[in-house]
Amino acid sequence: MPIASSNSTALITGGSTGIGLALASRFLSAGSTVIVTGRSQQRLDEAAAAHPGLLTIANDMSRAEDRSALAAQLHREHPFLNIVINNAGIQRRVALAEDDAPWTERQAEIDVLLSGPVHLNHLLVPHLLATGRPSLVANVTSGGAYVPQPFAPVYAACKAALHSYTVTLRHALQGTPCRVVEIAPPAVQTALAGPGASHGVPLNDFADAIFARLTETEEDFIGYGMTDSEAFHAAAEPYAEMFKGFAGRFPVKTYD
């Protein structure tokens, strides 16, 4: 069933700006308790000042110890948590042929974009199921998960891996009250691409559409613009059908 837009408790990582904050404001306005995370305390404070009632937690999703601490805090303070939106992201726009940065920069990108949501979901899914309430895990991928982006190769590869993981997480949670959604944005007008970047679809239009489809439909894939086009779906659907055929070939334990 669609997730309730009111009386829910939602965690949105990377929620101090951009897509995360736009979705947070909509859940908050609908009557939900909303917790956002981010690395910058200043940006979190600014978000809270602009959105009364918004709860914030300073947290670095690239660090395993921060993810564990976040999960423990949520267990203590928000026992009725039923929405997790893995939105935190960074994007390095460096072509492979000129990427001479220390490995730690690429590792940080991998940790935020892939290790973070995989680990956090592992920590929080049992919590969601224990509430007995309808719940939602939404992983934010990208059009680049399907069509690699030469200008951001590590970012696109991580989003492709997150897409694959999301499909298997949905399979693992079938038959439970937890719905698993992939949100695949096209380019959106946010600061992700760096200071001054202005290309992409308007943020508020995108957030309005995504929020409505999260709360009013039972869709498990939500795109927008290019990632919601007939051509995009036509290219992706054969792989979804192929997964259904392969998924039952070997016995795999799923969540109860």
- pLDDT tens string 117-132: 999 999 999 999 999 9
pLDDT at 233: 97
Structural domains of the chain in order of their starting residue, each with its CATH number = 9-247 (3.40.50.720)
pLDDT at 104: 97
- pLDDT tens string 83-97: 999 999 999 999 999
pLDDT below 70 — which residues of the chain? 193-198
Q: DSSP readout, the chain?
A: -PPPSSS-EEEETT-SSHHHHHHHHHHHHHT-EEEEEES-HHHHHHHHHHSTT-EEEE--TT-HHHHHHHHHHHHHH-TT--EEEE---------GGG--S-HHHHHHHHIIIIIHHHHHHHHHHHHHHHH-S-EEEEEE--GGGTS--TTSHHHHHHHHHHHHHHHHHHHHTTTSSEEEEEEE--SBSSGGG-TT---SB-HHHHHHHHHHHHHH---SEEE-GGGGSHHHHHHHHHHHHHHHHHHTSS------
What amino acid positions are annotated as catalytic residues? 155
pLDDT at 74: 98
